[in-house]
């Protein structure tokens, strides 16, 4: 297991996130440093407590309007320009829909980091906007429960088509996030894997940052070869060299939740999930070895004992 995170790591985390955002696994041009405010203005307390999205907090009061749609896009959205003034008025309909929570909903729906959503709004770029924000409170593109995993203590599921990641305990969704996968789909390979390594301070052996130095990939879980799940810059759904990048708070939560050998399943789409889960459940139960046929006219010699 990796060493526990310590308060002093906050400064190290801020430094790592800056470097990841300007280059990292995504290998994209440097971003405006103002975009990093929400990641680097962290108090001395644990990172996960300081930067967790507000959507995870309980709403002031329960209501039927707060129930997420049964299907990810059941309530619908429109691709259009949305203004800051419009976002600021949402809390009048529902106190839970603060500008921060509204931005989180937009980020998840558009598979982008919140600071990119802020740029889109400022520059009047059309984005996916819910027809009713209340229908997307606690919305996720991942299944809330998977019956076939009811006997599996922990499992990480990555769905490339969406693209989203979710982590499950006995089939129940414990956490999720929008992700960035390979710029070309084959760069992030579908398959059945497991957590091979955990490294909170991982440094890439393959890609440099904007300064030509090995790129930091913090809070990283190695899945196969040189592909890791780690904190990264979510510019769009396909923006990495193959690694699975997710937002800071989510990557810290997943890193601390996951254990070595935790199963990791990567599927092309949710349509493939049932077939892949059948293969996953059959693993560890190999067919008994078949005895070789005896050559004609000769006895088969017994193997050395």
Q: What is the pLDDT of residues 155-198, one digit of tens each?
A: 999 999 999 999 999 999 999 999 999 999 899 999 999 999 99
- Asked if the structure places residue 63 within a domain, the reply is no
Please, are residues 200 and 3 in contact by the beta-carbon 8 Å criterion? yes
Angle formed at CA 179 by CA 173 and CA 184, multiple of 5 degrees: 130
Q: Which residues contact 14 (CB under 8 A, 6 or more apart)?
A: 39, 40, 42
User: Structurally, how many domains does the chain consist of?
Assistant: 1
- Asked if the structure places residue 42 within a domain, the reply is no
- Asked if the structure places residue 206 within a domain, the reply is yes
- The torsion region of residue 138 among left (phi > 0), alpha (psi -120 to 50) and beta comes to left
- Asked if the structure places residue 48 within a domain, the reply is no
Please, are residues 240 and 26 in contact by the beta-carbon 8 Å criterion? yes
Distance CA 217, CA 231 (A): 6
- The torsion region of residue 284 among left (phi > 0), alpha (psi -120 to 50) and beta comes to left
Distance CA 145, CA 139 (A): 14
DSSP codes, 227-273:
EEEEE---SSSEEESS-EEE-HHHHHHHHHH--TT-EEEEESSGGGH
**32 burial level (CB within 10 Å; 0-12, 13-18, 19+):** exposed
Q: What is the pLDDT of residue 284?
A: 56
Please, are residues 239 and 28 in contact by the beta-carbon 8 Å criterion? yes
Distance CA 11, CA 18 (A): 11
Q: What is the pLDDT of residue 149?
A: 96
On the question of a cis peptide bond just before residue 269, with omega within 30 degrees of 0, the verdict is no
Q: Among residues of the chain, what percentage have pLDDT more than 90?
A: 60
Q: Tell me the pairing of strands 227-231 and 244-246.
A: parallel
Distance CA 236, CA 181 (A): 9
Distance CA 130, CA 127 (A): 10
Q: What is the pLDDT of residue 301?
A: 35
- Asked if the structure places residue 268 within a domain, the reply is yes
Mean pLDDT by 10 residues, the chain (305 residues): 45 44 44 36 34 40 42 72 97 95 97 96 98 94 97 97 97 98 94 97 74 80 95 92 94 98 98 96 57 41 34
- Asked if the structure places residue 79 within a domain, the reply is no
Rounded alpha-carbon distances, angstroms, from residue 117 to 129, 270, 278, 290: 11, 26, 38, 58
Range of the domain at 156: 147-282
Q: What is the pLDDT of residue 210?
A: 61
Paired strand residues for 245: 180, 230
- Asked if the structure places residue 38 within a domain, the reply is no
Helix axes 114-122, 99-110, angle to 10 degrees: 100
- Asked if the structure places residue 89 within a domain, the reply is no
Distance CA 99, CA 84 (A): 8
CATH number at residue 220: 2.40.440.10
Distance of CA 118 to the CA centre of its chain: 21
CB atoms within 10 A of CB 207: 18
Q: What is the pLDDT of residue 215?
A: 75
């Amino acid at each position: 297991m990796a060493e526990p995170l310590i308060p002093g790591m906050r400064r190290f985390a801020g430094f790592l996130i800056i470097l990841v955002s300007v280059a990292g696994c995504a290998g994209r041009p440097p971003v405006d440093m103002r975009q990093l405010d929400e990641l680097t203005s962290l108090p001395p307390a644990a990172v996960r407590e300081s930067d967790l999205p507000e959507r995870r907090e309980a709403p002031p009061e329960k209501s039927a309007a707060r129930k997420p749609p049964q299907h990810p896009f059941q309530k619908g959205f429109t691709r259009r320009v949305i203004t800051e003034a419009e976002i600021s008025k949402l809390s009048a309909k529902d106190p839970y829909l603060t500008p921060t929570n509204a931005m989180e909903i937009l980020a998840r729906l558009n598979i982008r980091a919140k600071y990119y959503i802020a740029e889109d709004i400022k520059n009047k770029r059309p984005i996916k906007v819910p027809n009713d924000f209340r229908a997307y409170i606690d919305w996720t593109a991942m299944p809330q429960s998977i019956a076939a995993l009811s006997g599996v203590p922990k499992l990480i599921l990555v769905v490339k088509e969406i693209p989203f990641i979710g982590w499950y305990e006995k089939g129940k969704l414990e956490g999720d996030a929008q992700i960035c996968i390979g710029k070309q789909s084959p760069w992030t390979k579908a398959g059945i894997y497991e957590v091979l390594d955990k490294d909170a301070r991982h440094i890439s052996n393959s890609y440099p940052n904007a300064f030509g130095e090995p790129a930091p990939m913090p809070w990283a879980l190695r899945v196969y070869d040189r592909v890791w799940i780690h904190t990264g810059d979510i510019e769009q759904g396909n923006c990495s060299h193959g690694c699975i990048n997710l937002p800071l708070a989510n990557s810290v939560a997943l890193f601390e939740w996951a254990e070595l050998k935790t199963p990791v399943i990567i599927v092309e789409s949710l349509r493939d999930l049932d077939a892949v889960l059948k293969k996953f459940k059959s693993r560890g139960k190999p067919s008994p070895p078949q005895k070789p046929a005896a050559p004609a006219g000769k006895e088969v010699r017994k193997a050395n004992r």
